[in-house]
Every structure is written in structure tokens, then in C-alpha cells.
């Protein structure tokens, strides 16, 4: 290892970077506080007694702390079953979408076949059609296939995920051609290219897309609402509407049920977040 | 024209079959049905009679339609470019942090994305409540009295746009971070040693190299926001909805509230055409710019 | 050989007999959450216990509003709807026009001993479209005037029985609010002045109190002097705001909080909030309060009302058998007989007998305002009316801004009338 010798001028420039960099970091951290505040405020409110919430004055930290709002939702509803349904349907949607989209994205990006352009436009088109236009059709179709009120019926229409394909295609496109050419010269088949080169190089985006897909499926409301008739098949976002109502002053109740609905996903994200950032960094590590 | 490689076609087929099945049944078929519906007076569910172009004539003269187009365009203007640029800036900022700080920062910006729209609505309706919202403290300090943000017409769209950006920025940030990580740090080091300023590094290295991602993000945001519905519906409900509705809300109203499936399909089809035209235009413009 | 056939026949008929006595499961959908939901669950459990082995209700609660009605319509169209559902009578015309509802026949009624004269006349009429019955009313829910007994007492506005006096007539009400504010209240009255819910209900009541009607026999809106009466109604409400007796742009939960926090001496809202105040009072968190029928501001008594009713969907290809229908009717009859308990949610039972018994007569505050059932003014019968309908939208678009002073009452009513007439085809 040779030591790097800087000139005086270069040292001065390096130091200037650090002040500029520090300012940027401070601004970022201020942004963090601002961004996180609404969620903090919702959390704080959900732990206050209802009467405290509408009393004049500002309690940034709850004066009295109560879990009554949460207890009501947890004890009086079938939230356990709803969690299960959400888990199964969201998980299935995520796995299937990732598999199908990576495959399709790869095919469109790297292979040459008749109808390739048409397919690409089709995918873009499906992103451009607004969902309310298709949802009744889906309902009639699922009714005909006798899939209403079943996991399969909830899952199927949610497999339409053009954005995932678009993103995969874009990231596969950005893999430098030298890698591909080198591997092809070594005699790699398309399958090997996909599984040994393109996918590994893009774990970061795969993880990100998996999270995004999971979140989308977990939060879906309109379709699961229409597709499911019995409470035992409801997912959290539908089931929770049974508890939230328009009566009285129920800010804490509304917010706590909202937080309970979103909690599992938030926890999963926070736990796996390190993995996410690492996976994204790994992508860079393969370079050179 | 070269012949397609046989192996390519077979591989492609295997990779694509499940995809094609799902898309064929759940997208292509329903879309054709939707187009057919536009020429009928069908209700939400069930058959209708053929009425030719009457739905389109009605759409042409519908003042709600022109309002909806205008509102949707305004909303897109307020969200697409700001959220794209902001996403990039935040990604740059977060990228610079290390270890624990980086995790915290990323979580803060991404956590809103995890929430369903109904929760976002509750949180912000509560924050901005005209009687008890915490944001009324700074607002009253500046304006002199509480302001019912969502019930004040000129403030409605900007407020909803702001909340939308707050909600969805995580998606953009994630994509940008993934893209930024693909740029080797050695380029930056070399440039730094050559005396490039921070701004020059950004303008000459980051910006051009991240351009394809920027285009992708902007396009996705554009199409997404052209389909805006939930936030405007939720924050506007009960109020001057005729003044604030977007195009998808018009579809929802016609089809679900008024039970006019044929007319709803017509609005949807026109919206679809608009989206195609606008997004293709934007995409081509941005791509051409990038290739300079 | 003959023995074998006879044995088979015996077994089959035995099976058929036991099948006829097997348990009927009634699929039930409602949109009742909160205080309503708790009470309905109790009722359903009670029914199921009493009818174990015969009829069981399998209940699902869904989101209130347009989602519920959309789901009913789509499910019925593919035969996947429930056997019985709750329904707002104000939505009946639209529901019938989509073919989602099954008419209730005279035989259905006779089978369980129900008839029209067991309900308030206006209520029974509201359950019919073009003379055919499509639903059986369960409750009447209206808006009432809640009041702070302490504040009104201190302002000298209560009689010996604790009932407010002098509120009937626009001037009387205004004077009362003036007095209350002089005595320290921030607002004379609070109500959800942002949006379309309460604004519609108060506006419609004021219209009815002038003898006006929203829609005429031809289905046209606010014709002749109904127009002026509507303008008058809007103006009255706008004056309350412009004179500072109530705040504009107040959202629903905030309007309640203003009352419970003592900032507003009176509060106009639906009867469904009675449990809220009852519970708060029982917990020691609320002042002495009461609720009375809406004051008679003009020449007649009238209060906006809607009605929760039971309806039977038209399940395409999957209609109810005679036994199933009989079971559903039994459920409806049983519920109506028990509707006094339902009234603890604040509503008025639609079933006359349930309003005339001792238990209800002593139920407060319901007994105080139950007289409004006689002058209940139900939503106009139109496919454009009802919960979450174009009529409601029109209120949000025109009447609400007028109340807040952004439009004159005349402009608002003109626009509203034209808007609704345009949608009438």
C-alpha cells in the first residue's frame, strides 16, 4: 500500500468538503425529523385517553398513557385471523409477482423474440389503465371461477404488477454488456445468465421490489373488500373497517386501529432494513 | 432482419407463460370488455343496450369532465417533478450517512410508504384538523386564526399534493439509492482529487449517470399520479367535490355511485388514452434529453 | 325387491323430514359499527341462543356507505349476496332501480304476523317504491338538539323539568344562543358545518318545517315556492355562522368535542351519538345533558329522518327457497319485537309496539324526543337521494359553501337545483 500524498491545495479542498458535507447531513437529519413527526404524533395520540386529545393545550408527550384503544381492537375483534389472511395473501402475491416479473423483465430485456415490442407496450398499457375500470370485470371472472371468498380469488387479480416488470427490465438493461459477453463466451446459457449473473447483480432491487409488493398487497382494500364475503376471510385492511366508525370522538381509537393494521409490515421492514441496505450495497460490491 | 434464435424463443416462452396467462385473462380480456362497454348504457354490473357514441358525446359536454382533466393535470404538476427531485436529493443525503444514522434516516423516509392511504388520511386529517390539529398552532401564529386547510379551495390541492409526496417518497428514494450505489465511488474520488467541487461532481457525474433512473422514476410517478383517486376522495369527502375531483373519481362516481357502467368505462378509456399520450411524450422528451 | 324399494323410500323420506328440521343458516350483512355494532351483536347472539338448532344468523359487518352498497349490488348480480341485509331507506329507490332487492310480499308478512299498521305511516311509505314493499323498517334515526343542562340552566333557559324553553322560532333560538354566549359559552351551538352530512339534515329539516318538499311528483327538484323555502333554510344556517353563534368548517368529531368540552352550549347531531354522551357521563367526564326534538323554527314540526331497515337481496340464480325466506322473515319479526333494546343506541324503534311499552317510555333521553317519530321527514324518494348520493354531493358543493359565507343562499340553491335536475334522466 502506498501512502497518498496530497498537496496543500488538495488538503484545503478536502476540508471544504467536510463542512459542506456536514451541512448536508444536518439538513438530511432535519428532514428526517420532519418526515417522522406525523407518525410519531399519531403514535403518541393513540396512547392518550380520548378526552385528553381534545383538551386545549399541546401534549407532545402523552400526559396519561393508556392502551385502552389498542386493547379494544385486540380483544374485541378477529384481528388474529385477519393478520393470517393478510400474511398468506400478501406473501403469495409477493412471491408470485417477483418470480413472474423477474422472468418477464429478463425476457424483454435480454432476449429477442417475435412480439417483444408488443408485449412491452402491453405491460406499459396495463400500468396506464385505472383499476376501477377493471375491478368489476375481475369480480365477475372470479365469481365464474368460483374463487370468491377464497385466498386464490384475492390473490389472482393482484398479480397484475406492471411496475415491477418495468423496474426489472430497467435494471437488467443497466447491467454492462461486457459481463454478458464474457459469460456468453464462457458458454453460459440464458438460464445461467439469469440466475448466476443478472439476478445476483440485482438483489438490492429484488429486495426493494419484494418489500414494495408486499406492502401494496397488505394495504389493498377495494379488491379484497369486494372479493370476500365472510369475516373469516377478510384481511386486516378490510376487517379493521368494522372497528373504525364515524361515531363520537374516537381519534385514539381510529389511530390505534390504523397502527395495528400497519404494524406487522413496519416491523418486518425495520427488522429487515439492514438487510435491505446491505443488499443494495452488495450490488455495488460486485463491480470491478 | 436476423432470424430469431430458436433457443431464445423457447426460453422466452417458458419465462413468459405464467405472465401471459395472468395478463391475458386479467388485463387484455377485461380491457376489451371495457372498450365494448363504452358503447352501451350498461349499469355497474350486467348487460346494457347499444347506444353508439352517445357516451362520448355526453363526455364532451360534461363540465365535470373538463374540471376533472384540469384537476388531474394540476395535481400531476404539483407532485411528479417535486417528488422525483426530492427523492433524488433525499437519496443523496441518506447515501452520505453511515451505519446506524443511515438506517434511521432511511426508515424515517420510507415508513410512510408502508401505510395504507386510509391511515395517511387519518393521520393528516388529525394533524390539520381545524379545531384541534397540532399544525394549527404554527398556522394560527402566522395567519392569525385557524385555517381549515382541506375546506379552503385554493389550499386543497397543494395540501393533498404535499401529503402525497410525504407518503410516497420512500419508493423514489429506494430506487435512487439502488441506482446511486451502482455508481462506483472511485469516479468520485478521482474527480475530487482533480479538484472538482461538490456541485461539479453532482452535475457532471451523478446527474448524467443516474439519468435513466430519474426518467424511470418520473415516468412511474407521472402515470401513478394521473390515476390519482384515494387521497383527493378522502380529504375532499363531504365538501366541494365537484371542484376538486380527479378523473378516476369521475369513473368511480359514474360507475359505483350512479350505477352507470357504460359511462364510467368511457371516462376510463379516455383517461387511458390521455395517460398513454402524456407519458409517451414525457418519456421521449426525457430520453432525447438524456442522449444529448 | 319391493322391500328394498320400500326401505329406500322410507329412508329417503326420513332424511327429507330431518332435512326440513335441520338448522337454517341465515347469511346476514350489515354496516353497523361502533355503539350500533355492539348492540346488534348482542341481539344476534340472543337470537342464536333462543333459536339453536332451528335458525342461526351468520353475521358479517362491512364498511358503511358506498362500499357496502356496491358490494351488495355486485354480489347479488352473481348470486353471492346474503340472505338478509340492513339497508338505509333513503337508498331504497336506487337499490330497487338496480334490481338488487327482492320485493317483500303480503304472504311473507302474513307468515310472521307483520303488517303496515304496526309502523309509523311515513316510515312504511318510505319502505316502498311505486307501491311495492322492499324493506321492513327497524329503526328511525333523526337529528336532535343536545344541550348542556348546566349552561342552559345558568342562562335561565330551562323549565322545571330541565327541558329548554323559548327555542321554537328562528328569533327564539337566536336569542337563546345570544344569551348563552353572553353567559360565557363560546358558541351557542355546534354541529358538523364542514361537509354534507349534518348540513343536509338540518337544511332538510328546516325545509320541511316550512312545509316545503325537495322533490315534486314529477321528480323535479325545488319547484315553485319550494325554491324560496330552500333559500330561507340555507340563509338561516348561514346567519348562525355569520353572527358568530356557531363556527364554520367544523369537522364531525371536532363538533362533538366542542360540545363535550363545554365550548358549545348546544349541539345538533344524530341520535346515534346518545351512547357517546351516556358513556362519558357515566364515567364522570360529562356535565348533565339532555336531548330534545329539534326546535320548531318555522310553521310546522319536521325533523329529517332516515331508517335502518331489513331488505332481502335479489340473488341472481340463487334465490331463497320458501323455507329460507320464512326463516329470514322470522329473523326480521324477532328483531322488531326486540327493537326496544336497539333503542339504547339512541334510535327510535320503527315498530310501534316497541315504542309504546313501559321500557321505552322510561328510556332517556329517547323518551323525550320520541315524539319526532310522528313528524319524521324522510329523505326524498329518488335514485339521486340517500346516503352518499348526488343529493349529498350537491349539499357539499353548494349549501356548505353558502353556510360558510362563500356563496349567497340564492346562488347555492339555484346551482343545486340545476345540478340535480341535470342528473335526472
pLDDT tens-digit readout, B133-182: 888 989 999 998 888 999 999 999 999 999 999 999 988 998 888 888 77
- Structure confidence at residue A17 (pLDDT): 55
Give A224's DSSP letter: H
What mean pLDDT do residues B6-34 have?
Answer: 85
Any CB–CB contact under 8 A between A148 and chain C?
yes
pLDDT at residue B255 is higher than 80? yes
Sequence-distant contacts of B137-142: CB under 8 A, at least 24 apart: B137/A58
pLDDT at residue C423 is higher than 50? yes
Interface test with B, best of C74, C76, C187, C194 (most B CBs within 10 A): C194
| Percent of chain A topping pLDDT 90 | 12
B83 & B206 share domain = yes
* Cα nearest neighbour of B45 on chain C: C74
Count Cα atoms within 13 angstroms, Cβ side, for A120. Answer: 18
CA B137 to CA B142: how far, in whole Å?
Answer: 9
pLDDT band at B48 (very low <50, low <70, confident <90, very high): confident
**Residue pair C188/C178 in contact by the 8 Å Cβ criterion:** yes
B172 & B193 share domain = yes
pLDDT band at C303 (very low <50, low <70, confident <90, very high): very high
| Percent of chain B topping pLDDT 90 | 34
Contacts of A48 in chain C (CB under 8 A): none
The total of structural domains in chain B comes to 2
pLDDT at residue A284 is higher than 50? no
For A197-230, the pLDDT digits (tens) are 788 777 778 888 888 889 889 988 889 988 998 8
CA A175 to CA A198: how far, in whole Å?
Answer: 7
Q: Indicate whether A131 belongs to any domain.
A: yes
Q: Per this entry, what is the length of chain C?
A: 425
Q: Indicate whether A237 belongs to any domain.
A: yes
Contact B239 C388 (CB under 8 A): no
Any CB–CB contact under 8 A between B129 and chain C?
yes
What mean pLDDT do residues B55-69 have?
Answer: 92
Q: Domain span at residue A197?
A: 69-285
Contacts of C276 in chain A (CB under 8 A): 247-249
ipTM of the complex: 0.81
What mean pLDDT do residues A125-133 have?
Answer: 84
Alpha carbon separation from B159 to A39, B27, B78, B155, B231 (Å, rounded): 17, 34, 10, 6, 10
CA C229 to CA C409: how far, in whole Å?
Answer: 11
Q: Indicate whether A47 belongs to any domain.
A: no
pLDDT band at C271 (very low <50, low <70, confident <90, very high): very high
For C146-204, the pLDDT digits (tens) are 999 999 999 989 998 889 998 999 999 999 999 999 998 999 999 999 988 899 999 99
Check residues A206 and C424 and name the one with the higher pLDDT: A206
pLDDT at residue A82 is higher than 50? yes
CA A109 to CA A113: how far, in whole Å?
Answer: 11
Contacts of B134 in chain A (CB under 8 A): 41, 58
What mean pLDDT do residues B224-228 have?
Answer: 91
CATH number at residue A119: 1.10.3720.10
Contacts of A152 in chain B (CB under 8 A): none
**Residue pair C60/C118 in contact by the 8 Å Cβ criterion:** no
B16 & B103 share domain = no
CATH number at residue B128: 1.10.3720.10
- Structure confidence at residue C51 (pLDDT): 93
B20 & B111 share domain = no
**Residue pair B267/B65 in contact by the 8 Å Cβ criterion:** yes
- Structure confidence at residue B187 (pLDDT): 84
A238 & A183 share domain = yes
Who among B12, B29, B117 is closest to A111 (CB)? B12
Any CB–CB contact under 8 A between A204 and chain B?
yes
Contacts of A259 in chain B (CB under 8 A): 119
B15 & B114 share domain = no
> For residue C221, what are the β-bridge partners?
C215
- List C residues 157-196 in contact with B (Cβ-Cβ < 8 A): 194-196
B47 & B22 share domain = no
Compute how many other C-beta atoms are within 10 angstroms of the C-beta atom of residue C145: 21
* Cα nearest neighbour of C71 on chain A: A226
Sequence-distant (≥ 6) Cβ neighbours of residue A213 within 8 angstroms: A93, A94, A97, A98, A161, A164
Angle between helices A162-173 and A116-128 (to 10 degrees): 130
pLDDT at residue A246 is higher than 90? no
B19 & B155 share domain = no
Q: Find chains touching chain A: ≥3 CB pairs under 8 Å.
A: B, C
Check residues C42 and A265 and name the one with the higher pLDDT: C42
B82 & B11 share domain = no
Give C318's DSSP letter: -
A35 & A81 share domain = no
B110 & B196 share domain = yes
Contacts of A29 in chain B (CB under 8 A): 101, 105
What mean pLDDT do residues C240-269 have?
Answer: 92
pLDDT band at A287 (very low <50, low <70, confident <90, very high): very low
pLDDT at residue C256 is higher than 80? yes
Residue with cell 357517546: C276
CA C238 to CA C248: how far, in whole Å?
Answer: 9
Contacts of C272 in chain A (CB under 8 A): 247
**Residue pair C152/C265 in contact by the 8 Å Cβ criterion:** yes
Contacts of A231 in chain C (CB under 8 A): 60-61
- CA A138 from chain centre, in angstroms, equals 23
**Which residue, A252, A247, B129, is CA-closest to C250?**
B129
Any CB–CB contact under 8 A between B279 and chain C?
no
How many inter-chain contacts (A to C, CB under 8 Å) are there?
79
Check residues C160 and A61 and name the one with the higher pLDDT: C160
pLDDT at residue C16 is higher than 70? no
Beta strands in C204-362 (DSSP E): 264-270, 289-293, 303-311, 348-349
**Which residue, C404, C236, C233, is CA-closest to B151?**
C404
This prediction's pTM:
0.85
A82 & A167 share domain = yes
- Please give the biggest Cα pair distance in chain A: 78
Who among A9, A126, A208 is closest to B178 (CB)? A208
Q: Indicate whether A141 belongs to any domain.
A: yes
What mean pLDDT do residues B259-283 have?
Answer: 89
Contacts of A38 in chain B (CB under 8 A): 112, 123-124, 127, 166
Contact C60 A148 (CB under 8 A): no
Check residues B271 and A58 and name the one with the higher pLDDT: B271
* Cα nearest neighbour of C422 on chain B: B62
CA A151 to CA A130: how far, in whole Å?
Answer: 24
Q: Indicate whether A280 belongs to any domain.
A: yes
> For residue B50, what are the β-bridge partners?
B40
> For residue C85, what are the β-bridge partners?
C29, C311
Q: Domain span at residue B124?
A: 38-290
pLDDT at residue B1 is higher than 50? no
pLDDT band at C102 (very low <50, low <70, confident <90, very high): very high
Any CB–CB contact under 8 A between A147 and chain B?
no
**Which residue, A150, A137, A169, is CA-closest to A224?**
A150
pLDDT at residue C359 is higher than 70? yes
CA C190 to CA C175: how far, in whole Å?
Answer: 16
Contacts of C261 in chain B (CB under 8 A): none
Residue with cell 317504491: C129
DSSP assignment of C15-79 equals HHHHHHTSPEEEEEEE---HHHHHHHHHHHHHHHHHTTTTEEEEEEE--TTHHHHHHHHHHHHTT
Q: Which three cell numbers stand for residue C57?
A: 344468523
- Structure confidence at residue A285 (pLDDT): 36
| Percent of chain C topping pLDDT 90 | 65
pLDDT band at A1 (very low <50, low <70, confident <90, very high): very low
Contact B109 A31 (CB under 8 A): yes
Who among C70, C194, C397 is closest to B241 (CB)? C397
Check residues B291 and A235 and name the one with the higher pLDDT: A235
- Structure confidence at residue A3 (pLDDT): 52
> For residue C61, what are the β-bridge partners?
C30
Conformation bin of residue C422: beta by default, left when phi > 0, alpha when psi is -120 to 50: alpha
CA B288 to CA B280: how far, in whole Å?
Answer: 12
pLDDT band at A288 (very low <50, low <70, confident <90, very high): very low
* Cα nearest neighbour of A222 on chain C: C67
For C367-415, the pLDDT digits (tens) are 889 888 888 999 999 989 988 889 999 999 999 999 998 899 999 999 9
Who among B151, B240, B258 is closest to C397 (CB)? B240
Peptide bond into C353 cis (omega under 30): no
Q: Which domains does chain C have, with CATH numbers?
A: 24-141+306-361 (3.40.190.10), 142-302+381-422 (3.40.190.10)
pLDDT band at A57 (very low <50, low <70, confident <90, very high): low
Alpha carbon separation from A105 to A101, A120, B190 (Å, rounded): 6, 9, 35
A78 & A212 share domain = yes
Contact B238 C97 (CB under 8 A): no
Q: Indicate whether A204 belongs to any domain.
A: yes
Who among B240, B243, B259 is closest to C98 (CB)? B259
Residue with cell 409517451: B280
The total of structural domains in chain A comes to 2
Any CB–CB contact under 8 A between C35 and chain A?
yes
Any CB–CB contact under 8 A between A127 and chain B?
yes
- Structure confidence at residue B162 (pLDDT): 95
* Cα nearest neighbour of C261 on chain A: A55
Q: Which three cell numbers stand for residue C364?
A: 332517556
Q: Indicate whether A52 belongs to any domain.
A: no
Interface test with C, best of B124, B134, B252, B257 (most C CBs within 10 A): B257
- Structure confidence at residue C5 (pLDDT): 57
A28 & A132 share domain = no
A21 & A85 share domain = no
Q: Which three cell numbers stand for residue B209?
A: 449517470
CA C174 to CA C178: how far, in whole Å?
Answer: 6
Any CB–CB contact under 8 A between C313 and chain A?
no
Alpha carbon separation from B86 to A35, B171, C186, C210 (Å, rounded): 13, 12, 44, 57
Contact B259 C94 (CB under 8 A): yes
Contact B259 C258 (CB under 8 A): no
Contact B130 C396 (CB under 8 A): no
pLDDT band at C13 (very low <50, low <70, confident <90, very high): low
B180 & B257 share domain = yes
A264 & A188 share domain = yes
CA C380 to CA C386: how far, in whole Å?
Answer: 8
CA A215 to CA C262: how far, in whole Å?
Answer: 43
* Cα nearest neighbour of A49 on chain C: C285
Contact C254 B43 (CB under 8 A): no
What mean pLDDT do residues A105-118 have?
Answer: 85
pLDDT at residue C2 is higher than 70? no
CA geometry: angle at B207 spanning B206 and B210, to 5°?
Answer: 75
Q: Indicate whether A61 belongs to any domain.
A: no
Give C389's DSSP letter: S
B155 & B254 share domain = yes
Q: How far is C253 from chain A (nearest CA, A)?
A: 5
Who among A25, A107, A276 is closest to B12 (CB)? A107
How many inter-chain contacts (A to B, CB under 8 Å) are there?
258
Amino acid at each position: 500500500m502506498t501512502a497518498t500524498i496530497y498537496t496543500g491545495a488538495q488538503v484545503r479542498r478536502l476540508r471544504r468538503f467536510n463542512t459542506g458535507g456536514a451541512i448536508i447531513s444536518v439538513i438530511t437529519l432535519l428532514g428526517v425529523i420532519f418526515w417522522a413527526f406525523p407518525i410519531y404524533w399519531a403514535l403518541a395520540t393513540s396512547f392518550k385517553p380520548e378526552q385528553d386529545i381534545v383538551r386545549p393545550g399541546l401534549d407532545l408527550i402523552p400526559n396519561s398513557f393508556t392502551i385502552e384503544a389498542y386493547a379494544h381492537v385486540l380483544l374485541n375483534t378477529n384481528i388474529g385471523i385477519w393478520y393470517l389472511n393478510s400474511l398468506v395473501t400478501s406473501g403469495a402475491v409477493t412471491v408470485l409477482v417477483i418470480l413472474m416479473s423477474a422472468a418477464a423483465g429478463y425476457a424483454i430485456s435480454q432476449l429477442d423474440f417475435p412480439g417483444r415490442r408488443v408485449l412491452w407496450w402491453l405491460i406499459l398499457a396495463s400500468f396506464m389503465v385505472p383499476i376501477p375500470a377493471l375491478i368489476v370485470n375481475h369480480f365477475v371472472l372470479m365469481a365464474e371461477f368460483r374463487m370468491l371468498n377464497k385466498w386464490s380469488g384475492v390473490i389472482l387479480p393482484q398479480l397484475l404488477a406492471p411496475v415491477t416488470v418495468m423496474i426489472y427490465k430497467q435494471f437488467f438493461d443497466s447491467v454492462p454488456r461486457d459481463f454478458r459477453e464474457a459469460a456468453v463466451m464462457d458458454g453460459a446459457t440464458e438460464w445461467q445468465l439469469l440466475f448466476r449473473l443478472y439476478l445476483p447483480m440485482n438483489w438490492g432491487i429484488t429486495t426493494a421490489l419484494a418489500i414494495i409488493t408486499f406492502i401494496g398487497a397488505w394495504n389493498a382494500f377495494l379488491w379484497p373488500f369486494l372479493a370476500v364475503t365472510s369475516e373469516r376471510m377478510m384481511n386486516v385492511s378490510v376487517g379493521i373497517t368494522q372497528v373504525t366508525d364515524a361515531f363520537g370522538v374516537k381519534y385514539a381509537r381510529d389511530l390505534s386501529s390504523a397502527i395495528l393494521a400497519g404494524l406487522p409490515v413496519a416491523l418486518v421492514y425495520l427488522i429487515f432494513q439492514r438487510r435491505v441496505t446491505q443488499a443494495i450495497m452488495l450490488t455495488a460490491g460486485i463491480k470491478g | 432482419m436476423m432470424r430469431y434464435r430458436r433457443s431464445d424463443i423457447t426460453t422466452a416462452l417458458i419465462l413468459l407463460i405464467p405472465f401471459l396467462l395472468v395478463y391475458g385473462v386479467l388485463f387484455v380480456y377485461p380491457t376489451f370488455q371495457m372498450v365494448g362497454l363504452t358503447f352501451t348504457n350498461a349499469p355497474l354490473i350486467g348487460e346494457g343496450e347499444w347506444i353508439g357514441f352517445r357516451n362520448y358525446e355526453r363526455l364532451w359536454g360534461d363540465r365535470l369532465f373538463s374540471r376533472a382533466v384540469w384537476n388531474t393535470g394540476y395535481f400531476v404538476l404539483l407532485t411528479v417533478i417535486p417528488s422525483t427531485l426530492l427523492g433524488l436529493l433525499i437519496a443523496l443525503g441518506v447515501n452520505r450517512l453511515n451505519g446506524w444514522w443511515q438506517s434511521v434516516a432511511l426508515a424515517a423516509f420510507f415508513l410512510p410508504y408502508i401505510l395504507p392511504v386510509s391511515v395517511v388520511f387519518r393521520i393528516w386529517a388529525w394533524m390539520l384538523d381545524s379545531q384541534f390539529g397540532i399544525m394549527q398552532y404554527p398556522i394560527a401564529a402566522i395567519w392569525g386564526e385557524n385555517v381549515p386547510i382541506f375546506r379552503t379551495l385554493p389550499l386543497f390541492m397543494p395540501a393533498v399534493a404535499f401529503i402525497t409526496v410525504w407518503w410516497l417518497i420512500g419508493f423514489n428514494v429506494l430506487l435512487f439509492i439502488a441506482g446511486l450505489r451502482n455508481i462506483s465511488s472511485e469516479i468520485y474520488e478521482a474527480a475530487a482529487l482533480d479538484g472538482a467541487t461538490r456541485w461539479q461532481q453532482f452535475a457532471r457525474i451523478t446527474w448524467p449517470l443516474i439519468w435513466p433512473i430519474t426518467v424511470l422514476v418520473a415516468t412511474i410517478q407521472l402515470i401513478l399520479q394521473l390515476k390519482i383517486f384515494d387521497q383527493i376522495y378522502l380529504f375532499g369527502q363531504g365538501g366541494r367535490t365537484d371542484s376538486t375531483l380527479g378523473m378516476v373519481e369521475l369513473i368511480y362516481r359514474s360507475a359505483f355511485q350512479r350505477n352507470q357502467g357504460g359511462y364510467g368505462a368511457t371516462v376510463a378509456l379516455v383517461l387511458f388514452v390521455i395517460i398513454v399520450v402524456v407519458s409517451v411524450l414525457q418519456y421521449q422528451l426525457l430520453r432525447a434529453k438524456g442522449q444529448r | 325387491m319391493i322391500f328394498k324399494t320400500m326401505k329406500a323410500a322410507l329412508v329417503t323420506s326420513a332424511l327429507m323430514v330431518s332435512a326440513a328440521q335441520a338448522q337454517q343458516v341465515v347469511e346476514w350483512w350489515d354496516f353497523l359499527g361502533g355503539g350500533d355494532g355492539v348492540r346488534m351483536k348482542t341481539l344476534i347472539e340472543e337470537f342464536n341462543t333462543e333459536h339453536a338448532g332451528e335458525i342461526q344468523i351468520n353475521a358479517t359487518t362491512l364498511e358503511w356507505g358506498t362500499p357496502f352498497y356496491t358490494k351488495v349490488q355486485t354480489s347479488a348480480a352473481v348470486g353471492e349476496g346474503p340472505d338478509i341485509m340492513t339497508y338505509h331507506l333513503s337508498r331504497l329507490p336506487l337499490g330497487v332501480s338496480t334490481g338488487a332487492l327482492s320485493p317483500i310480499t303480503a304472504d311473507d308478512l302474513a307468515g310472521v304476523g307483520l303488517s303496515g299498521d304496526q309502523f309509523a305511516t311515513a316510515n312504511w311509505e318510505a319502505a316502498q317504491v311505486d307501491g311495492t314493499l322492499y324493506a321492513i323498517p327497524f329503526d328511525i334515526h333523526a337529528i336532535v338538539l343536545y344541550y348542556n343542562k348546566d349552561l342552559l340552566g345558568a342562562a335561565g333557559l330551562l323549565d322545571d323539568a330541565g327541558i329548554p324553553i323559548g327555542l321554537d322560532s328562528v328569533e327564539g333560538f337566536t336569542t337563546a344562543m345570544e344569551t348563552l354566549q353572553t353567559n360565557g359559552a363560546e358558541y351557542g351551538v355546534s354541529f358538523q358545518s364542514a361537509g354534507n352530512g349534518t348540513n343536509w339534515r338540518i337544511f332538510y329539516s328546516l325545509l320541511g318545517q316550512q312545509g316545503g318538499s325537495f322533490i315534486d311528483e314529477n321528480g323535479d327538484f325545488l319547484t315553485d315556492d319550494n325554491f324560496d323555502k330552500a333559500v330561507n333554510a340555507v340563509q338561516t344556517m348561514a346567519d348562525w355562522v355569520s353572527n358568530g353563534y356557531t363556527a364554520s368548517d367544523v369537522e364531525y368529531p371536532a363538533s362533538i368535542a366542542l360540545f363535550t368540552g363545554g365550548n358549545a352550549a348546544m349541539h345538533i347531531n344524530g341520535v346515534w351519538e346518545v351512547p357517546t354522551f351516556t358513556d362519558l357521563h357515566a364515567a364522570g367526564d360529562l356535565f348533565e345533558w339532555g336531548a330534545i326534538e329539534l326546535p320548531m323554527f318555522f310553521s310546522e314540526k319536521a325533523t329529517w329522518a332516515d331508517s335502518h331497515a331489513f331488505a332481502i337481496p335479489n340473488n341472481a340464480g340463487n334465490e331463497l327457497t320458501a323455507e329460507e325466506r320464512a326463516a329470514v322473515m322470522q329473523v326480521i319479526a324477532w328483531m322488531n319485537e326486540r327493537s326496544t333494546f336497539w333503542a339504547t343506541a339512541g334510535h327510535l324503534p320503527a315498530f310501534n309496539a316497541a315504542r309504546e311499552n313501559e321500557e321505552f317510555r322510561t328510556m332517556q333521553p329517547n323518551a323525550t324526543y320520541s315524539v319526532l317519530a310522528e313528524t319524521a321527514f324522510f329523505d326524498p324518494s329518488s335514485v339521486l337521494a340517500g346516503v352518499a348520493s348526488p343529493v349529498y354531493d350537491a349539499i357539499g358543493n353548494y349549501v356548505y359553501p353558502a353556510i360558510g359565507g362563500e356563496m349567497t343562499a340564492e346562488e347555492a340553491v339555484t346551482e343545486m337545483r340545476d345540478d340535480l335536475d341535470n342528473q335526472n334522466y
